[in-house]
Amino acid sequence: MYQSKIIGLGKYVPDNIVTNDDLSKLMDTSNEWIQERTGIQERRHIKKGDGNSTAIMGLKAAKQAIDRAEINKDEIDLIVFATLSPDYYFPGCGVQIQEKLGIKTCPALDVRNQCSGFVYGISVADQFIKTGMYKNVLVIGSENHSGGLDMTNRSRHVSVIFGDGAGAAVLTRSDDESGILSTHLHSQGEYIDELSLRGPSTEKWVPEIIAENPQEDIPYYPKMNGQLVFKNAVVRFSEVINEGLDFNGLKKENIDMFIPHQANLRISQFIQKKLGLEDTQVHNNIQKYGNTTAASIPIALTEAWEKGKIKKGDLVVLAAFGSGFTWGSVIIRW
């Protein structure tokens, strides 16, 4: 068995900054409420005409990751693209990136695991590299939330938290002790309805939605039972981090850097406290970018790495929880 490691990281966020005060002009909310409940100060939204989309933002992050990995795009053996907001219903963003990068026929796979999408994507990449089937895998997380949010009071607890952006990582076969030690994935479909966007879909096509003209339970906007998601998140984050540490015979004291999915600053702070980590051992950036779902971990990981917060030999832990419910962790020796 081989071991995989991350050799290149990249990120991209649109220029357009949307502050909490901007949102309070659209719905009945306030900077105080948003900051107190979520820690978010601002987020980025694609602006009409700025040329961005989920695939394009993913492409920008991917190009940076490939440059930093110092490999040629043609050496990529597999593309894994995680998103809940693809440009098209089909085909997925994976093949769009492949075309835009100009890579001829490597396999391209889309992962639909929402906030846990990047962790799932890293796990997929790791398995293919471990078995020796592929050597270099590009994993991308990208989201265009802003185009599909309900900016009215009806969804204010959902729409204030999400932002747009993308992050990417290039993984390759490791030639030393460093790399991904293990990945741990879970899901629990009984909670499908607690955080979902159900239409348009094969269950409900557009004409049907228009005919029904719903006012309350609008299927084409995300809906979320925020408190239930919050309660499950804090439990599952802790469980799956401990699962990863136990698997490797490690303890929470061994963690050098923790990169949580940026769901809510209060969730990250709760987990930080449970793990007994200092502020310098956790990287949060939800204050600037909001919750970017599958993009949040690669954006935060890239930013932490750019700031020099991750050094060779460090034990880095990634963990995510989100819609599905799905959750997972990645334990890395950098």
Please select the residue that binds ligand UT7; options are 16, 37, 204, 252, rule is CB under 6 A: 37
Is 261 assigned a catalytic role?
yes
- Give me the residue whose beta carbon is nearest to ligand UT7: 226
Could you say which DSSP state residue 257 is in? E
Measured distance CA(329)–CA(75) in Å, rounded: 27
Largest Cα–Cα distance in the chain? 60
What is the nearest approach in angstroms of ligand UT7 to the Cβ of residue 130? 28
Nearer to ligand UT7, 230 or 334 (CB): 230
Nearer to ligand UT7, 93 or 233 (CB): 233
Please select the residue that binds ligand UT7; options are 65, 185, 197, 233, rule is CB under 6 A: 233
Using the rule CB under 6 A, is 302 a contact of ligand UT7?
A: no
Using the rule CB under 6 A, is 197 a contact of ligand UT7?
A: no
State the number of CA atoms in the 13 A half-sphere of 112 facing the CB.
9
Partners of residue 184 on adjacent β-strands: 329
Is 106 assigned a catalytic role?
no
Measured distance CA(278)–CA(313) in Å, rounded: 19
Q: Where are the beta strands (DSSP E) in the chain?
A: 4-12, 17-19, 42-44, 78-82, 108-111, 137-143, 165-173, 179-187, 195-196, 223-224, 257-260, 315-322, 326-333
Using the rule CB under 6 A, is 29 a contact of ligand UT7?
A: yes
Using the rule CB under 6 A, is 318 a contact of ligand UT7?
A: no
Please select the residue that binds ligand UT7; options are 2, 191, 220, 230, rule is CB under 6 A: 230
Measured distance CA(164)–CA(116) in Å, rounded: 16
What is the nearest approach in angstroms of ligand UT7 to the Cβ of residue 86? 18
Measured distance CA(54)–CA(86) in Å, rounded: 6
What is the nearest approach in angstroms of ligand UT7 to the Cβ of residue 253? 27
Measured distance CA(141)–CA(121) in Å, rounded: 8
- Report which secondary-structure segment, H or E, holds 220: none
Tell me the per-residue interface mask from 87 to 116 with ligand UT7, x by CB under 6 A, - otherwise: ----------------------------x-
Cβ neighbours around 176 below 10 Å, total: 9
Say which of 45, 145, 184, 261 is annotated catalytic. Answer: 261
Amino acid residing at 22: D
Is 184 assigned a catalytic role?
no
Please select the residue that binds ligand UT7; options are 58, 86, 92, 322, rule is CB under 6 A: 322
What is the nearest approach in angstroms of ligand UT7 to the Cβ of residue 245? 22
Measured distance CA(260)–CA(317) in Å, rounded: 8
Q: Which residue has 């490691």 as its token pair?
A: 5
Structure tokens at 150: 């309900």
From 30-38, 49-57, 63-71, 200-208, span contacting ligand UT7 (CB under 6 A):
30-38
Please select the residue that binds ligand UT7; options are 148, 200, 219, 226, rule is CB under 6 A: 226
CB neighbour class for 256 (10 Å; exposed up to 12, middle 13-18, buried from 19): middle
Nearer to ligand UT7, 92 or 260 (CB): 260
Say which of 115, 136, 145, 284 is annotated catalytic. Answer: 115
What is the nearest approach in angstroms of ligand UT7 to the Cβ of residue 149? 12
Using the rule CB under 6 A, is 46 a contact of ligand UT7?
A: no
Q: Which are the catalytic amino acids?
A: 115, 261, 291
* Interface residues toward ligand UT7, by CB under 6 A: 29, 33, 37-38, 115, 156-157, 160-161, 226-227, 229-230, 233, 263-264, 267, 291, 322
